[in-house]
Amino acid sequence: MKSLKIFIALVAVASLSSCNNKRKPQVQYMPDMYVSVPYDANGVRSAGDVPVNRLPVAGTVSRNGVVAYDILDTNEGYEKAKAELKNPLPQTEANLEKGKELYGIYCATCHGKKGDGNGVLSQRDKFSGIPKYNDPARNITEGSIYHVIMYGRNNMGSHASQLNYKERWQVVQYVEKLKSELK
Ligand code: HEC
C-alpha cells in the first residue's frame, strides 16, 4: 500500500513537472518503456565460443539482383568476354527502351546520344579519347561492352555499381543498336 502511494505521488509530480514547463527537460519515469534496450549481437559468442554474427558460408551468392561475374579484369579477360560472352536477355522493345534511358543517364555525357564519342564532356574538352562505337580498330561486341561496363577501360571508369546485372545488359543492347546505326 505504501509503495502504491509513493507511485501515485511520483506520477502526480511527474505529470505536473513534465507537461507544463516546455522550456525545461521533461521528466521521464520508467524510461525502459520508451527507450528499449536493444540486444546487440555483434561480437557476442554463443556456447562453444562460436560467434553469433556469423558470415554467410563461403561461396554464398547474393540473390538480390546480383549475378557473379567471373571473368577477370585482365587483357585475356577482355578478349574472352569479347569472344564468348553473350547477352542473356531477349531482344525486346522494353529492354531497348530501358537501355536507352539508362544510357542517357550514365553514358551519353561522354559517348554522345548517338554513340559517336561526341558527348557534352567531349564537346567541352573535359574528356578526350572517347571512341565511336563503330570504331573498326576496337570492334566492340556485346561481351566486350558488358566487360567494359563492369571494369571500365583506361580513362573510362567502371559502371558496375551504378547499374545492376539486368540494367547492364539492357545498356549493352542499346549500345549495339547505336553502333549499328553509326556510319
Ligand atoms: C566519363 C566519360 C565516360 C563515361 C561516362 C562512359 N565512358 Fe565509355 N569510354 C570512355 C573513354 C574515354 C573510352 C576510351 C577508353 C580507352 O582508352 O580505351 C571509353 C570506351 C568505351 C567503350 C569501348 C571500349 C573498348 O572495348 O575499346 C565502350 C563499349 C564504352 N566506353 C561503353 C560505355 C558505356 C556503355 C557507358 C555507360 C554505362 C560508358 N561507356 C560511360 C569514357 C566514358
70: its cell numbers: 567471373
What tens digit of pLDDT does each residue of 102-148 get?
A: 999 999 999 999 999 999 999 999 888 999 999 999 999 999 999 99
Question: Among 21-35, 76-90, 123-137, where is mean pLDDT lowest?
Answer: 21-35
pLDDT score of 151 more than 60: yes
Q: Percentage of the chain with pLDDT > 70? A: 80
Q: Are 110 and 127 in contact (CB under 8 A)?
A: yes
Check pocket membership of 130 for ligand 1, CB cut-off 6 A: yes
Q: Residue 30: what pLDDT?
A: 77
Query: Between these two residues, 92 and 58, which has the higher pLDDT value?
Result: 92
- Band of residue 35 on the pLDDT scale cut at 50, 70, 90: confident
Instruction: Provide the residue ranges of all domains of the chain, joining segments of one domain with +.
Output: 8-38, 75-181
- CA-nearest residue for atom 29, ligand 1, is 145
Report the residue among 148, 173, 176 best suited for mutation to probe ligand 1: largest number of ligand atoms under 8 A from its CB: 148
CATH superfamily, region 75-181: Cytochrome c-like domain (1.10.760.10)
Check pocket membership of 144 for ligand 1, CB cut-off 6 A: yes
pLDDT score of 7 more than 60: yes
CA atoms 87, 93, 98, 99: torsion sign:
positive
Check pocket membership of 172 for ligand 1, CB cut-off 6 A: no
pTM value is 0.73
Q: Are 103 and 171 in contact (CB under 8 A)?
A: yes
- CA-nearest residue for atom 41, ligand 1, is 107
How far is Cα 101 from Cα 107, in angstroms, rounded to an integer? 10
pLDDT score of 62 more than 90: no
How far is Cα 179 from Cα 183, in angstroms, rounded to an integer? 9
- Looking at this protein, which amino acid is placed at residue 54? R
How far is Cα 93 from Cα 135, in angstroms, rounded to an integer? 26
